[in-house]
Each structure stands twice: as structure tokens, then as C-alpha cells.
């Protein structure tokens, strides 16, 4: 618990996390049902770490998650608090050579997407036979058609698993036999969804046209007018093509939007989340991929440009706002001939004012550095470089994200051209690196 407090800033565990810790001493297999944003990642990590034997460089625990983003979020938390244990992340879009090198050096905990994990198993890059603990995060998604064959092949290789932890924000009707669950104890905190509903307001926004892009733009401008700037908002659409079209339309009209969907490569997805989190692009246009697993905080508005196709999807989307004890607003855009899904319940109708538009200046720009963690570049290195060579004050520098082979830094700069001129050709940590403004 001291590391949790020191490195994650969490003073006390919530009721659900305490319940998981207690139950893990009494039951071998546990199914945790809890809404998005309730802290269930830490709820399974803490008992998992408690179950580990001393570090040996052989795989003791495997955590499987359905998306790269969720893998990275879980990996980041475990790496922060699992002192003495080697943790390796495996996911599509990541350099296979980096993963193989990490595995060959030995690892105690693996966090992976199903496809990439199975690929390493098939290539014999990893011996999973010693694995005793299996965690399936967002198991309802991991066991959907398309993942199920991969999951069966993986589980068939995990012959010595004796502890299983499953988590989800929605209940699955049937669990496959290949999981080999042994009288699992269910911990159900889905009643928290009702508490989440009490902290949100759901607004109907009617559009005069079937194509709701003008209505969406006006809504975002009205919201920005009220707060004198764009608060973090996620616009959900149902298709990748729609996401691209919507994002392009908003940006042409001066809305600081960024695109996020599953067809983007890993670096573009990471960059999109970084720009959203650091304030450079506070409007994220996304498919349902962004409804789970993303490490984002402080989302004020969830906007359904397209209505969610299922009640579960609607729940997950809305769970991106009003996290922990915060409040949030949810907007559902409704076309002239569009029927509202039966699971959507409105609190009111929002009427838009075409006179209340807001054209915000960008408070932040983001700089790209062509080196990262693997090149031994740290956040401190970047901060020091921007102060010394760029002439910035520490207060001018926002969030810095360092990835394996590149880094991103948000800067509050009224003259970005002067800044880039100051740092052009300068060495950072003894090396010249490509540094550019992210478009």
C-alpha cells in the first residue's frame, strides 16, 4: 500500500477494492462486475500481486485485455507498484523485437492482448507453463466472437493456472468451459451504475438535418462559449469512416478535434490520446474503441453523434465522464427521422443558440521528440531542455509523455515559431534529435 500511495497518489482503497482483497484470500476464482471508472484495475492488480511468489524471471501471472490501450494502462500501473517484479507488455503495433528482447531477459508478469500473446506462444518466445494466475480484464469483450478461438488456444496452454480473476463493467450471460472456472465468487458493484446516472445529466439535442455535423459543431461552440474554452469532450460515432469525416469537418471549422479509431497505427492512437489529455486537442472524435481502457481523465462531455448500438455500449460510452465523484453531461444528437433507443432516458432537451459561438485560441501546442524510453530519454531531460534551450518557464510546460521510441511535450507558448527556432539543432542529452510541432 505505501507504493500505491506514493506512486499513484491513492490514500485509501475504496469498498470494492477492499472487498476484492478480502475475497481473494477466500476464493480461487473471482468475477468482479463494476462500472467503468470505479477503480477495478487496481482492484484486481493488488490481490494478483499478493498472490505472487518471489520474482524468478519465469511467468507467474498473465493479464489479458481486449485492446492495446487497456494493456498499456494496466502495464503502467503494475510497473509502478510491483517492486522487484519484471512486467512485460505485449500488443499489436508494438515492436516485436522489443518484446522478444524483454521476454528473453525473463519476466514475472505479462500484460497482453489475446492475438499478440498467442503469437509469442506459437513462436516459442515465451514459456507460459509456469503461469499460476490468469486475469481477464473486460472479459465480456475478450470472449466475444472473434477473440474466442484465440482465448481457447491460450487457455489450453495454461495448464497450471490455479487462480482466475475476471472483471467487466457488464455481465456476460454464458462463460465458456475452456476457462475452467472453479465455483467463482461474483462481486457485483453494478449498482454503482445507478449512482453514476445520478451524477450525469442526459440531454437531447435535435438536428433539423439527417446529417448532424452542423448541429454537432454548434453544440461544441455553445458549450465552449459557456466555459470560455473547450472542455474535454468525446464525440462517439459508430464507424471509422464517420469518425474521419466528422473530425475533418470539425477541424475545418476551428474546433480543436483529434481522431481516434482502431484502423490507426499504434503511434497515431497514442498521439491522439496524448493530445486530448494535454489540452492541445480537447475534442476526441472516436469509435467505441474509446469507450473502454483509455487512460483519460476529466472528461466533461460525452456526445453521441450516433446512438450506441447496444445498451452495453451506451453504458461504456457514458462511463468516460463523471468518474469517481465528478459530474458530467451526456448529449444525444437526434435526427429528424431518427427513433431513440429504448435504453436512452433524457433529463431535458438542449436548445442551441446560433449567436453563441466561440472560436477558442489554442492554449497549448505539442512538440514531438524522435527519442524515447529506449533511448534513455526521460521527462526530466525534456523539461530541462525546454527551459535551458527553449527559454521557457517551468509553468509554460504541460504534460510530457515518453514512449518507447518517441516523446510528446505540451507547451504553452505564444510564439511557437520562436521556440522551435531556439531549439533547432540543439542537442538533448548529448544527441541531436528531430523535434517538430505536432500538426
Tell me, what DSSP letter sits at residue 239?
Answer: S
d(CA 149, CA 140): 14
Give the gyration radius of the chain's Cα atoms: 23
pLDDT digits (tens, 9 = 90+) for 68-110: 888 998 999 999 899 899 999 999 988 899 999 999 999 999 9
Among the residue ranges 39-48, 139-148, 178-187, the one predicted with the least confidence is 139-148
Say if residue 117's pLDDT is above 80: yes
pLDDT of residue 301: 97
pLDDT of residue 146: 66
| pTM over the 0.85 mark | no
Long-range contacts formed by 237-245: CB under 8 A, 24+ apart? 237/285, 237/286, 237/287, 237/305, 237/306, 238/287, 238/288, 238/306, 238/308, 238/309, 239/287, 239/306, 240/287, 242/305, 242/306, 243/285, 243/286, 243/287
Q: Residue 391 has which C-alpha cell?
A: 527559454
Q: Are the CB atoms for 438 and 368 separated by under 8 Å?
A: yes
SS3 411: strand
pLDDT digits (tens, 9 = 90+) for 135-152: 999 888 777 756 788 999
Amino acid at each position: 500500500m505505501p507504493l500505491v500511495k506514493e506512486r499513484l497518489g491513492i490514500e485509501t482503497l475504496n469498498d470494492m477494492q477492499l472487498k476484492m482483497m478480502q475475497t481473494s484470500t477466500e476464493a480461487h476464482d473471482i468475477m468482479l462486475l463494476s462500472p467503468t471508472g470505479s477503480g477495478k484495475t487496481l482492484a484486481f492488480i493488488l490481490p494478483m500481486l499478493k498472490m505472487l511468489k518471489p520474482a524468478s524471471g519465469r511467468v507467474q501471472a498473465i493479464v489479458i485485455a481486449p485492446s492495446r490501450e487497456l494493456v498499456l494502462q494496466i502495464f503502467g500501473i503494475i510497473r509502478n507498484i510491483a517492486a522487484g517484479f519484471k512486467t512485460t507488455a505485449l500488443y499489436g503495433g508494438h515492436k516485436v523485437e522489443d518484446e522478444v528482447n524483454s521476454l528473453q531477459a525473463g519476466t514475472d508478469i505479462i500484460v497482453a492482448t489475446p492475438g499478440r500473446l498467442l503469437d509469442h506462444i506459437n513462436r516459442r518466445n515465451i514459456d507460459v507453463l509456469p503461469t499460476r494466475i490468469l486475469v481477464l480484464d473486460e472479459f465480456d469483450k475478450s470472449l466475444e466472437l472473434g477473440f474466442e478461438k484465440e482465448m481457447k488456444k491460450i487457455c489450453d496452454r495454461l495448464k497450471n493456472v490455479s487462480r482466475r480473476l475476471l472483471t467487466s463493467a457488464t455481465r456476460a450471460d454464458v462463460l465458456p468451459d475452456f476457462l475452467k472456472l472453479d465455483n467463482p465468487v461474483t462481486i457485483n458493484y453494478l449498482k454503482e451504475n445507478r449512482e453514476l446516472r445520478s451524477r450525469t445529466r442526459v440531454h437531447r439535442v435535435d438536428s433539423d438535418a439527417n446529417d448532424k455535423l452542423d448541429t454537432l459543431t454548434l453544440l461544441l461552440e455553445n458549450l465552449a462559449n459557456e466555459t470560455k474554452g473547450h472542455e474535454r469532450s468525446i464525440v462517439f460515432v459508430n464507424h471509422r469512416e464517420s469518425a474521419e469525416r466528422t473530425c475533418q469537418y470539425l477541424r475545418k471549422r476551428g474546433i480543436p478535434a483529434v481522431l481516434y479509431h482502431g484502423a490507426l497505427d499504434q503511434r497515431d492512437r497514442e498521439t491522439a490520446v496524448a493530445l486530448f489529455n494535454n489540452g492541445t486537442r480537447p475534442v476526441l472524435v472516436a469509435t467505441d474503441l474509446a469507450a473502454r481502457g483509455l487512460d483519460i481523465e476529466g472528461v466533461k462531455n460525452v456526445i453521441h453523434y450516433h446512438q450506441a448500438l447496444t445498451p452495453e455500449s451506451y453504458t461504456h460510452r457514458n462511463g468516460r465522464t463523471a468518474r469517481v465523484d465528478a459530474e458530467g453531461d451526456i448529449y444525444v444528437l437526434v435526427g429528424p427521422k431518427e427513433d431513440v433507443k429504448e435504453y436512452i432516458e433524457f433529463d431535458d432537451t438542449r436548445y442551441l443558440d446560433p449567436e453563441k459561438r466561440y472560436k477558442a485560441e489554442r492554449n497549448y501546442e505539442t512538440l514531438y521528440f524522435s527519442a524515447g524510453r529506449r533511448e534513455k530519454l526521460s521527462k526530466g531531460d525534456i523539461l530541462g531542455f525546454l527551459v535551458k534551450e527553449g527559454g521557457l518557464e517551468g509553468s509554460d510546460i504541460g504534460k510530457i509523455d515518453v514512449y518507447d521510441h518517441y516523446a510528446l511535450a505540451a507547451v504553452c507558448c505564444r510564439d511557437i515559431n520562436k521556440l522551435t527556432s531556439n531549439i533547432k539543432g540543439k542537442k538533448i542529452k548529448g544527441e541531436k534529435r528531430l523535434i517538430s510541432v505536432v500538426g
